[in-house]
């Protein structure tokens, strides 16, 4: 996949940094490639549910945002993205020290971009699959240029 | 819909109170009826995205959790629920003072419970539809009895 | 909802008639209103699965097509629609004499149209809910003007 | 993935053969491995839409059924499967001579089985991705043993 913004990584990192909610829950950008983004989030109680696992809302958020930025990495400068919809299957409890969300663009049209996301939990250095998601992103060029 | 726990409302409110993430983002239970739950969340920057709207992850979280507790309200004491999957269409930007998520059970089987969720944003007292979702919840009886 | 094609009903019925697959399985348009379409299909073995119920593929097809035409009913002449995605929860077995799929547009943007679909089965004159679905449709104006 | 039925391939092929709808549209089982099924369907007008492409309902049907049988291949004898839900993103038009649906189980629990499906179209010997889907299947042991 070919990025249309030579500074795509910086664009992703800057737009991510401007999302208060991502900072609030403690998520960070771990890796950016054209059409691919990995986000990570360390466990702490504030992002948990009753049993000390990652909360489903946090899992869904990290899936959605990774997908949005994977799409964003392929857009020209001064573009925006909008989540049209996503669907997530939570296939195992979110038990672990770190949540890792990896999103890959499967098709980038001019208006609509489709992504696939895998969310893993890492416990004592071992990763296991926690959730899988499919997402539709709408690309808007000429917008404010700060992603979502 | 007939609740199997006469104290279903208290059960929902107590289980909700035990989810650190819900308290962290500032969500509250506004209404509980058998098979129905309404959650509300006031806007502040920590739950926003770049433009000062509710973050998509927050919208998804409130949809998911409202659905889970709508299912939970129908279960006997000492039950748990687990989100199997959900799908959300974000049909308008999350611009407003308050986010309102209303979930209704459409079918409650013994093992699987299906819910429909509407998320609205209220701005200056006027509500508008922000997102619609479908969800599958798994019920587990005899569990720890504290919902998710 | 206001149709932009005064002959919206005729447009829906003609486009439907041009889909060989709909005729092949025996589906028909039962009702058209602006933003709403109802399709019906009588049971026969060719649309069944192992137990003599409506096949899941037929249920999904009727959901998808009803949603697409509900969107189409709101478009100006010489428009086309494309299914971007849909998600369906099958909440009960498809047991009955007739399958009824009712789709309602929940938001019609310029490019994307969102629909909600309920599929019922009727047995001895009594309807019961069989499936619920959410769908995203893409509208294309100036296209070949024959829907999908 | 380890099948619990040594005759899993025969079980899949026999159950598939008992679905009238699959025969009616002309689908066939191309490959079976534990947790994996490939279905194929040659183009003819009866499975098409207005433009001579594969109908969306046929695409969705082949995705759903491939996923169901991928799950079924892992079950013990005398089991059944039920589609709980699926979600499909149609990422390109279904233009081609043959439709190929490949489903892979991503997690097989005792009650719920999750699958991922890719649907391709082949035109002049070249495959391209047409749709991606996620699905939840419910396994029932001790049932009639004829799949769906």
Is residue C42 a part of any domain in this protein? yes
Work out whether the CA dihedral C61, C62, C65, C71 comes out positive or negative: negative
CA distance C94 to B88: 25
Tell me whether residues D136 and B136 touch, CB distance under 8 A: yes
Confidence of residue D141 (pLDDT cuts 50, 70, 90): confident
- Closest Cβ opposite residue C106 in set B87, B106, B132: B132
Give Cβ neighbours of residue D68 (< 8 Å, ≥ 6 apart).
C56, D81, D83, D103, D135, D137, D147, D148
CA distance B98 to B118: 14
- Provide the pLDDT for residue B144: 56
Q: Where are the beta strands (DSSP E) in B43-125?
A: 79-90, 98-108, 112-123
Is residue B147 a part of any domain in this protein? no
Tell me whether residues C87 and A84 touch, CB distance under 8 A: no
Write the pLDDT tens digit of every residue in B77-105: 989 999 999 999 999 999 999 999 999 99
Confidence of residue B146 (pLDDT cuts 50, 70, 90): low
ipTM of the complex: 0.94
Confidence of residue D51 (pLDDT cuts 50, 70, 90): confident
Tell me whether residues C134 and B132 touch, CB distance under 8 A: yes
pLDDT tens-place values along chain A, 148 residues long: 999 999 999 999 999 999 999 999 999 999 999 999 999 999 999 999 888 899 999 999 999 999 999 999 999 998 999 999 999 999 999 999 999 999 999 999 999 999 999 999 999 989 999 999 999 999 998 765 555 5
CA distance A92 to A130: 5
For residue B87, the chain C residue with the least C-alpha distance is C87
- Provide the pLDDT for residue C141: 80
* Mutation target vs D (from C11, C22, C45, C49; most D CBs, 10 A cutoff): C49
CA distance A127 to A139: 32
CA distance B70 to B117: 10
- Provide the pLDDT for residue B45: 94
Is residue A1 a part of any domain in this protein? no
- Provide the pLDDT for residue A99: 98
CB A87 within 8 A of CB A133: yes
Tell me the chain C residues in contact with residue D39 when contact means C-beta distances shorter than 8 Å: none
Is residue D1 a part of any domain in this protein? no
Q: What number of other Cβ atoms are within 10 A of residue C1's Cβ?
A: 12
CA distance A112 to D47: 26
CB C71 within 8 A of CB C55: no
- Would you state the structure tokens that stand for residue B77, as one six-digit string? 């004491």
Q: What is the mean pLDDT of residues D83-97?
A: 96
- Closest Cβ opposite residue A134 in set D129, D134, D136: D134
Query: In terms of residue numbers, what domain contains D12?
Result: 8-141
Tell me the chain D residues in contact with residue C55 when contact means C-beta distances shorter than 8 Å: 19-22, 61, 148
CA distance A69 to A11: 9
**Residues comprising chain D, all counted:** 148
Question: What's this model's pTM, rounded to 2 decimal places?
Answer: 0.96
pLDDT at C75 over 80: yes
Confidence of residue C148 (pLDDT cuts 50, 70, 90): low
Is residue B118 a part of any domain in this protein? yes
Q: How many CB pairs under 8 A join B and D?
A: 17
Q: Between helices A56-72 and A8-17, what is the axis angle to 10°?
A: 140
pLDDT at D38 over 60: yes
By C-alpha distance, which of D119, B40, C101, B119 is closest to A85? Answer: B119
CA distance B82 to C69: 35
CATH for D128: 3.10.129.10
- Our count of domains for chain C comes to 1
- Alpha-helix residue ranges (DSSP H) falling in B18-147: 20-25, 56-72
Is residue C3 a part of any domain in this protein? no
Is residue C2 a part of any domain in this protein? no
Tell me whether residues C83 and D90 touch, CB distance under 8 A: yes
Is residue A96 a part of any domain in this protein? yes
Tell me the chain B residues in contact with residue D87 when contact means C-beta distances shorter than 8 Å: 87
């Amino acid at each position: 996949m070919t990025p249309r913004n030579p500074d795509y990584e910086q664009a992703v990192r800057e737009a991510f940094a401007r999302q208060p909610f991502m900072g609030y829950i403690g998520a960070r950008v771990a890796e950016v490639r054209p059409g691919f983004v990995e986000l990570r989030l360390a466990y702490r109680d504030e992002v948990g549910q009753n049993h000390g696992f990652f909360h489903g809302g946090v899992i869904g958020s990290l899936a959605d945002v990774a997908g949005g930025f994977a799409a964003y990495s392929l857009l020209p400068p001064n573009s925006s993205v909008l989540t049209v919809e996503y669907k997530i299957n939570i296939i195992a409890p979110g038990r672990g020290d770190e949540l890792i969300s990896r999103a890959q663009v499967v098709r980038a049209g001019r208006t609509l971009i489709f992504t696939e996301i895998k969310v893993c939990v890492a416990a004592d250095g071992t990763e296991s699959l926690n959730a899988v998601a499919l997402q539709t992103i709408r690309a808007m060029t000429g917008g404010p240029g700060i992603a979502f």
